[in-house]
Amino acid sequence: MANDTRTSLILADDHPIVRQGLRQIIEREADMNLLLECSDGVSAFSETIANNPDVLILDIDMPGKNGLEVLKSLHEAAFAGKVVVMTVHSDEEFFDEALRLGAHGYVLKDSAVEDVVTAIRAVCAGQNYVSPALTRLLFRQKDQPSPSGFDSLTPTEKQILKLIAEYQTNNQIAETLFISPLTVKTHRRNICIKLDLEGNHALMRFAVEYKGKL
């Protein structure tokens, strides 16, 4: 439908029961349109390229082509939509690789029913999304020493980091702090320089990881 303004989605998972549960959740949302479902990585890639959805919900463990391979292929094909990775893997290696390959959201299957709609809305708004359950598993903020450069951050820079950890966009941060979006971008750049971080994903992950110290 040419005039359909709903968020278009493709769901890729090799387990029919998982797909059924998520389909029911998504179909309750009036502003979301599940175009189709895929049960393997090869069809997930081809159908995503053919249908160009706003969001692909992508399982990592699939036959034919795993989710990380699909992500890599989508990146090479310059897919313009968003990808929310859905997985049982809570270890850092998979999380880092998914972000490196361009995932915008990372949802644990154990909490997918609760998180998937929030994740879709977040990535469509230009934010990154990570399951709260995953951040608890990956990061133990109170037990971590402060990283090099952390103490050199100004109060404003720490406040911006805290808002980044809450998945706020530059415009939202600007409204909260009564500054311009351009000033927010400058602060983000300065934070990355002080902490020796490269890229928005690295900054977002750092903010989430050290949120307890902000």
- Using CA atoms, how far residue 113 sits from 32, 98, 125, 179, in Å, is 15, 20, 20, 37
52: left (phi over 0), alpha (psi -120 to 50) or beta: left
Q: Are 168 and 198 within one domain?
A: yes
Please give the pLDDT value at position 141: 40
What DSSP assignment string belongs to 114-172?
HHHHHHHHHHHTT--EE-HHHHHHH--GGGSPPPTTGGG--HHHHHHHHHHHTT--HHH
Please give the pLDDT value at position 79: 94
b/e map of 104-143 (b: 16 or more CB within 10 Å)? bbbbbbeebeebbeebbbbbbeebbbbbeebbeebbeeee
Question: Is residue 1 domain-resident?
Answer: no
Q: Are 160 and 130 within one domain?
A: no
Could you say which of 138, 161, 182 is where a domain stops?
138
Q: Are 123 and 163 within one domain?
A: no
Question: Is residue 157 domain-resident?
Answer: yes
Residue-range definition of the domain harbouring residue 163: 142-213
Pairwise CA distance, residues 99 & 109, whole Å:
17
Residue closest to 150 by CA, chosen among 93, 199, 96, 209: 209
Q: Are 117 and 155 within one domain?
A: no
Q: What is the mean pLDDT of each run of 10 residues along the chain (214 residues)?
A: 80 92 93 95 96 95 90 93 88 78 88 90 91 68 58 87 86 90 92 86 83 70
Question: Is residue 46 domain-resident?
Answer: yes
36 three-class SS: strand
pTM summary value: 0.65
Question: Is residue 49 domain-resident?
Answer: yes
Pairwise CA distance, residues 108 & 174, whole Å:
31
Please give the pLDDT value at position 4: 76
Q: Are 99 and 179 within one domain?
A: no
Q: Are 14 and 107 within one domain?
A: yes
Alpha helices in the chain (DSSP H): 16-27, 41-51, 67-76, 92-100, 112-124, 132-138, 155-165, 170-177, 181-195, 200-209
Q: Are 69 and 164 within one domain?
A: no
